[in-house]
């Protein structure tokens, strides 16, 4: 039985004013249904595992909201970080806790805030990755690129080894400049790194011990105390000492160089819900191309002679638009945002400006 780990962190500043530090994007129903991104992530796992095998790693500020949204996940599977230490500490803690239960378990790590259009295709891809993990490989799921995206990291792959869809990952590539991204797109050998990982926990922890011995020792100590009266003491003492580093940089890049990483290319309508524009591309639109998030809300929207909008009415007020196109309009109880879709990436500038103005309550 697969263990699924869901790191639920990050605030999503490009989704401001909907996403806030206190209520980050994974808690919001950005899925075209009433399910939050986090709930949709759990729902997608149904064919692969049971709620008892799902672990969520989240911040102290969001533990209660996560627990309420995921009523089926046992309390002891909600791992609460005392402070953010980036993805390696979060994923390694989960791996070490799972290893306490089942030392040779296969675990997958799946972000809490991504959208996937074709859940069946995703399940098949993960199953192929599990088969690679069972053979001792550190598996990733690579997304077949559909454009020369400069906002993602890439996986550079070698020749397929002949057994199924697996390909070796020769190198992790940072976010590229535009000409490099164009070259990646043409190469046919580069995949988007969606930060989905599948591995045996013993294999991952051994690689962690090799490359990040301090981090390995720390999470091992915490995991050993997990569920005992010492848990909080050990967590409070050890956690703040762990290196703040991403799992890609801390483990996967070195493991790829050592030939221990492979990938399964996936093509299932993946979207990282990074901003309102890309969100609008993936959710169902009306005949004029307008996407309204939360169509059930009253009084909702009144769109007259509008096209290709992304409208987020989340304040209970009417959002009326007349004669505009390609705009984002987000309405929340204390802030409203208007911005062209092609400037969606820059929304974080507003968040920075608010911090400078001392308006932390709006961030």
Site of interaction with its own copies (CB under 8 A): 17, 299, 302, 304-305, 317-324, 327, 329, 331-340, 343, 346-347, 349-350, 353-354, 357, 359, 362
Give the single-character DSSP code of 185: H
Nearer to its own copies, 63 or 362 (CB): 362
Strands 154-157 and 190-200: what pairing? antiparallel
8 Å CB contact between 310 and 293: yes
Least distance from C-beta 351 to its own copies, angstroms?
A: 10
Least distance from C-beta 281 to its own copies, angstroms?
A: 18
Nearer to its own copies, 17 or 274 (CB): 17
- Nearest CA-CA partner of 128 in 142, 110, 113: 142
Least distance from C-beta 319 to its own copies, angstroms?
A: 5
Least distance from C-beta 341 to its own copies, angstroms?
A: 10
Nearer to its own copies, 229 or 361 (CB): 361
Nearer to its own copies, 217 or 335 (CB): 335
- Look at residue 45 and give its three-state secondary structure: coil
Q: How far lies 19's CA from each of 23, 29, 68, 70, 157, in Å?
A: 6, 11, 18, 19, 35
How far apart, in whole angstroms, are the C-alpha atoms of residue 328 and residue 349?
16
Least distance from C-beta 299 to its own copies, angstroms?
A: 6
Nearer to its own copies, 88 or 301 (CB): 301
How far apart, in whole angstroms, are the C-alpha atoms of residue 271 and residue 275?
10
Nearer to its own copies, 186 or 357 (CB): 357
Least distance from C-beta 288 to its own copies, angstroms?
A: 15
Q: How far lies 68's CA from each of 74, 78, 246, 302, in Å?
A: 11, 11, 28, 33
């Amino acid at each position: 039985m697969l263990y699924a780990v869901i790191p639920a962190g990050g605030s999503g500043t490009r989704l401001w004013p909907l996403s806030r530090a206190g209520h980050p994007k994974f808690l919001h129903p950005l899925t075209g249904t009433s399910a939050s991104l986090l709930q949709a992530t759990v729902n997608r796992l149904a064919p692969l595992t049971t709620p008892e095998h799902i672990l969520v790693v989240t911040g102290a500020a969001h533990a209660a909201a996560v627990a309420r949204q995921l009523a089926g996940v046992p309390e002891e599977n909600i791992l609460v970080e005392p402070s953010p230490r980036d993805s390696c500490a979060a994923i390694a803690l989960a791996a070490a806790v799972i290893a306490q239960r089942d030392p040779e378990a296969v675990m997958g790590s799946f972000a809490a805030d991504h959208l996937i259009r074709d859940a069946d295709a995703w399940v098949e891809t993960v199953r192929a990755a599990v088969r690679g993990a069972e053979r001792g490989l550190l598996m990733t799921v690579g997304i077949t690129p559909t454009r020369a995206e400069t906002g993602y990291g890439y996986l550079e792959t070698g020749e397929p080894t002949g057994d199924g869809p697996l390909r070796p990952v020769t190198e992790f590539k940072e976010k590229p400049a535009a000409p490099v991204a164009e070259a990646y797109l043409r190469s046919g050998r580069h995949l988007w790194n969606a930060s989905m990982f599948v591995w045996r926990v013993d294999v991952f922890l051994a690689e962690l011990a090799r490359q990040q011995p301090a981090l390995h020792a720390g999470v091992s100590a915490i995991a050993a105390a997990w569920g005992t009266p010492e848990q909080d003491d050990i967590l409070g003492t050890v956690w703040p000492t762990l290196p703040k580093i991403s799992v890609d940089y801390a483990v996967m890049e070195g493991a790829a160089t050592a030939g221990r990483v492979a990938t399964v290319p996936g093509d299932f309508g993946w979207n990282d819900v990074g901003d309102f524009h890309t969100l609008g591309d993936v959710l169902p639109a009306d005949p004029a191309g307008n996407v309204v998030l939360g169509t059930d809300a009253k009084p909702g929207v009144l769109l007259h002679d509008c096209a290709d909008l992304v409208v987020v009415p989340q304040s209970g007020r009417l959002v009326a638009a007349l004669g505009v196109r390609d705009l984002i309009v987000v309405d929340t109880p204390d802030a409203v945002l208007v911005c062209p879709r092609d400037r969606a990436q820059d929304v974080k500038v507003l968040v920075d400006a608010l911090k400078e103005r001392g308006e932390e309550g709006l961030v």
